[in-house]
A and B are shown apart, each in its own frame.
Chain A
Amino acid sequence: MPSWNVNDQRVPQGRLALFSYLCVGCVVLLLVGFWKLQVVQSGHFADLAEKNGIRSIPIIAPRGAMLDRDGRVLVDSYPSFSILLLRDNPKLLEKSLPQIEDGLGISEEDLKQQLDAAKSEPKFMPIIIKPAASEADLAFVESHRADLPVLDLMMVQRRRYPHGEMLANTIGYVGEVSPEELEQSDGHYRPGDIVGKAGLEREYNDQLEGTDGMRRVVVNSVGKVMRTLDNIEAIPGKPIQLTIDYDLQSVAENDFANKEGALIAMDARTGAVLAMVSRPTFDPNDFAVRIPAKEWQQLNADPETPLLNRAIQAQLAPGSVFKIVMATAMLESKAIPANYTVYCPGYAEFYGRTFHCDHPHGEVDLHKGIVASCDVYFYNVGKLLGIDRIDHYATGLGLGRRTGIDLPGEEPGLIPSEDWVERVYHHKWYPGSTISVSIGQGAVMVTPIQLARMIAAVANGGTLIPPHLLKTATGLQPESFPLSDDTVQQVTDGMWGVVNEPDGTTSETVKLQNIDFSGKTGTAQTESFELQNKLGKHLKENGWFVGYAPRRNPEIVVAALVQGAGWGSSVAPIVRDVVKAYYDKKNGQLPRQPSTAENISAPSHPLVAAAAEQHP
């Protein structure tokens, strides 16, 4: 028997019972506690639980780059950071505003306004208070992570236009997707997505935009990312290679400094656009981040219409360049003998009205009519042809209708006809109007690209090349408007004379050695009617020059328009420069412009790299 009391059978029943009651009491208390949380306050905790959850953070796919025909970068993307303001802790937020004002230079008032605007959004959704953080901003956020937890960074991909205004109207710009685009995209876009808004950015948006990735993270009720659930990598957009030649573009842009107008240079055999200028213009980098509303309004309301791509959107009277159409119509229709001559006393009377010429040209045949650009000669040609024949040839050569270039917003221009007048103005065609049309005035409106294509077509026997900007474009079919060899011979001889003969309108000032440079000047007396109204003033005349080389079956055609230039002859040097650059490059004599990749350095602050690591 052990020393201790083995068979003691006293059991404290009372105290055991007391213990049982105590246990029941404890369970009841616990159940009351659970009741409070699960029934009384369950709504509050359900709200908190909602904030605990999965947040999808898009990984923005960089847009594809745009390269010139030689692979030089015209547009690219770079990683950048947006500064986010977290709103889930209003008290902390309120306290932090003054410090944010100091550090990021955003006024407290501004911040409060932004917070107000986002009031209806869920509190755990941060707002972007600075779309493009500078390195100083990044440093500020990084160094204040502890005491300013309301700030965070988000990596985004921004568009960069390293050459600024160069080619801006052609390239276009990007911007946040509009509500309409959102609706039409059928879920493809989310609010805040960046899409191409104009120009090539819009035309080739589908290729350029990548597929955004998605990182699904678990965030807790205070917005802290706890872990990553999955990571769908972004697929970068595909680069596109353009037909643009950076070298020719540079030459053209330089010549257009301080000028207003447009230029288009094309490979006259294929329609590949080598250079395209429109002035005045804008800097698409201004759009790449978030353009202030004021600046956008200014750009839009600017009477000089910097957003207009004049090469394809300016619909203007072609002036004497139109005489090439007249000459072609005269020869092809055979309505007038090829050796038709007119005596020019410096003016002529038709239907009781006097029409002027620059100066008396004396006896004028077709060749001299083109070379010296005699109005009186073509007044007579026009009168003999009649408006419908002019319309037939002008339209056949591509005027007054879109060329189909791969850019949005191309304007058709207008070639008047009897039908058109009856349809629009409900009266018969006034024969007197034909006289004005004959020298590219009156109702005739064309775009620079139409003129370039028309001149190329006349010089190559009637092939209307398909203008395009994408180097890899396939399936482009030229249009055919066959011209007889004889016509081509005579008209191109005339255009050769304009440049190379003593009485040509360019007075031999733009002759090029060893190059059969030809062309036609034009001086249009008015601005487009609308633009003139808008400006409320009468500008100087528009100068045109459409040049090409060589004389027949040209390789390059360049149309240039300088608004307010006065005379077409003053525009010719620009075209000559581009054509010369083309041949210099072909012969290896043009110093190659450095590739942009060498010019542009990526932002290389260590903080950017560090932040990039944190936000993979």
Chain B
Amino acid sequence: MKDRPRVHDFDWVLLAIAGAIALVGLLEIYSSTHASAMAGMQWKQLMWIGIGVAGMCLISLIDYHTLMDQAPALYMIGIAGLLIVLVIGYSRLGAKRWISLGGLVNLQVSEIMKLIIIIVLARFFAEVRTDRLTLADLAKVFVLTLIPVALILKQPDLGTAMVLVPVAVLGAFLAGIEWKHAAIGLVVVALLVPLAWNMRRHLKPYQQQRIQTFLHPEDNPRGAGYQILQSQIAVGSGGFWGKGFGKGSQNQLGFVPVRYSDFILAALAEEQGFIGVCVVLLLYLGLIMRLVDNAQKAKDRAGMFIVMGVTAILGFHVLINAAMVIGYMPVTGIPLPLMSYGGSSIAFVFLALGLVMSVRMRRFVN
């Protein structure tokens, strides 16, 4: 038995898959922006990846148990941060998501909240000593999740708020939710959908419009449905083999909305075709499988919940983003992990992988 984690135990396979995805992302960002005023974005992205990897290493050095010990404090800090954002937050694109830390660094608190919720819920589920979740446990999970979700919704950021939910759902599933409770939950959700539909007037106008657009994109092709349609056009016109690197007209001419970020998969689909999409989605599937593998090999139940929390968020991101690109989901502003341009997103993914590394490196540690 070793008494401390070793570099040898670092998950190099996981890192290789993540690196491959990030490299594809870098190339597509270059292809999408090199001929525009935004040329050179790939270098900024590379810088963020470097920072993310460094952050990942730092986090992996911390024993996840130490972090979980601090779960209540982290939770309070996270909630406080979200409240501060709502009060004094820096407004960008009509939504307050940022705390300015001076200079060019803006901290997106909700990204940090994703990490915190993983730790907090892992701690909660690890504390459940049975293989069954009681209704009281479920209620606690519900409240713990609802508070940050509500605060993030208020920003408003529907996408990030939604992302927290699968951590709780997958966690509850793995912690041993009873099938009948799960069934009841599904029925409640099924009943809530029409209710929510009737409540849609209480949504922000842009959210209403997004939903409207999602349901009837052809109604207003010049308006919001435009993004989905343009994304579909880019994807569809790419065909089986794609138009070639840097040759996607929809991408190069800027028809694909935020082609270097949320819709980077559409840009890739146009230039690399169905083949390229297969490669990318299989890389993501590999990433998820490797994460599940890590969960299975975790030293303890707590580590398993940490890894699966990360898995839930990453998997949900990929699913929602890919579905959005082909028009199966409304536009929610959820980036594609590791590929989409953006410092906060990249930093979050690597820090989350850092948590996974922390678990893996300690699987043999006493």
Contacts of A4 in B (CB 8 A): 68, 123, 126-127, 302
Interface residues of A in 26-46 (CB under 8 A from B): 26-27, 30-31, 33-39, 41-42, 44-46
Complex: chain B residue closest to A13, CB-CB: B296
Q: Is the CB of A49 within 8 A of B233?
A: yes
Bound: A375/B265 CA distance, A:
99
A34 with B269: CB separation less than 8 A = yes
List residues of A (124-143) whose CB comes within 8 Å of B's CBs: none
Least distance between B361 CB and chain A CB atoms (Å) = 17
In the bound complex, do residue B230 and residue A52 qualify as a contact, i.e. CB atoms below 8 Å apart?
A: yes
Residues of the A chain whose Cβ atoms lie less than 8 Å from the Cβ of B292: 16, 19-20, 23
Q: Which of A5, A19, A52, A224 contacts B173 (CB 8 A)?
A: A19
Closest A residue by C-beta to B248: A49
Q: Which residues of A contact B239 (CB under 8 A)?
A: 38-39, 42, 46
Q: Is the CB of A42 within 8 A of B295?
A: no
Within 8 Å by CB of A226, from B229, B234, B254, B328, lies B254
CB of A56 within 8 Å of the partner chain: no
A227 at the B interface (CB under 8 A): yes
**When the two chains form their complex, are residues B233 and A221 in contact, meaning their CB atoms are under 8 A apart?**
yes
**Interface contact A38-B236, CB-CB below 8 Å:** yes
Quick one: closest A residue to B307, CB to CB?
A16
CA distance A220 to B221 in the complex (A): 10
Q: In the assembled complex, which residues on chain A have CB atoms less than 8 Å from the CB atom of B221? A: 221-222
Give A229 Cβ to nearest chain B Cβ, in Å.
Answer: 9
Interface string of A486-502 (1 = CB under 8 A from B): 00000000000000000
Q: Are A42 and B323 in contact (CB under 8 A)?
A: no
- Chain B residues 207-232 with CB under 8 Å of chain A are 221-222, 226, 229-230, 232
Q: Contact: A38 with B301, CB < 8 Å?
A: no
Chain A residues near B315 (CB-CB < 8 A): 23, 26
Chain A hits for B250, CB < 8 A: 49, 52
When chains A and B are docked, how far (Å) is the Cα of A44 from the Cα of B237? 8
Q: Does chain A have a CB within 8 A of B299?
A: yes
A15 within 8 A of B: yes
Residues of chain B contacted by A44 (CB below 8 angstroms): 236
A31 to B328, CA, bound (A): 12
Complex contact B300–A42 (CB within 8 A): no
**Structural contact, A7 and B300, CB atoms closer than 8 A:** yes
With A30-B281, A33-B328 as given contacts, are A42 and B289 in contact (CB-CB < 8 Å)? no
B351 to chain A, nearest CB (A): 22
User: Does B274 make an interface contact (CB < 8 A)?
Assistant: yes
How far is B304's CA from A3's CA once the two chains are assembled, in angstroms? 18
- Asked whether, in the complex, the Cβ of B296 is within 8 Å of the Cβ of A11, the reply is yes
In the assembly, what is the distance between CA of A41 and CA of B249, in Å? 18
Cβ contact within 8 Å between A9 and B236:
no
In the docked arrangement, what's the CA distance between A38 and B277, Å? 10
- Residue of A whose beta carbon sits closest to that of B242: A38
Question: Does B9 interact with chain A (Cβ within 8 Å)?
Answer: no
User: Shortest beta-carbon distance, B256 to chain A, in Å?
Assistant: 10
Given known A-B contacts A4-B126, A34-B274, A221-B221, A52 and B322 have beta carbons under 8 A apart: no
Judged by DSSP, the binding face of B is helix
Q: Which of A11, A36, A49 contacts B298 (CB 8 A)?
A: A11
Closest chain A residue to B240, Cβ basis: A39
B269: chain A residues within 8 A (beta carbon):
34, 37-38
Contact A39 B226 (CB under 8 A): no
On whether A52 and B277 interact (CB within 8 A), knowing A19-B170, A33-B326, A38-B238, the answer reads: no
Q: Which of A322-358 contact B (CB under 8 A)?
A: none
Q: Which of A2, A16, A52, A226 contacts B233 (CB 8 A)?
A: A52
A10 close to chain B: CB less than 8 A? yes
A84 within 8 A of B: no
Q: Per-position contact with A for B252-288: 1 when CB-CB < 8 Å, else 0?
A: 0111000000000000010001100110011011001
A34 touches B235 (CB 8 A): yes
What residue in chain A is nearest B234 (Cβ atoms)? A49
Nearest-neighbour CB distance to chain B for A241, whole angstroms, equals 46
CA distance A44 to B229 in the complex (A): 12
**Complex Cα spacing A53 to B298, Å:** 53
Q: A37-B326, A52-B255 are in contact. Are A8 and B295 (CB under 8 A)?
A: no
Q: Which of B65, B170, B288 has the most CB of A within 10 A?
A: B288
**30 A-B contacts (beta carbon < 8 Å):** A2-B69, A5-B126, A5-B302, A8-B126, A8-B129, A8-B301, A10-B301, A11-B301, A12-B174, A12-B175, A16-B308, A19-B292, A30-B281, A31-B277, A33-B322, A34-B274, A34-B322, A34-B326, A36-B326, A37-B269, A42-B240, A45-B235, A46-B236, A52-B250, A52-B253, A218-B254, A220-B226, A221-B230, A224-B222, A227-B254
Known interface pairs A46-B239, A221-B221; 15 further A-B residue pairs with C-beta atoms within 8 A, sorted by A's residue number: A5-B129, A11-B298, A12-B174, A15-B173, A20-B288, A26-B319, A27-B285, A30-B281, A34-B281, A38-B236, A38-B238, A49-B236, A218-B253, A221-B230, A224-B222
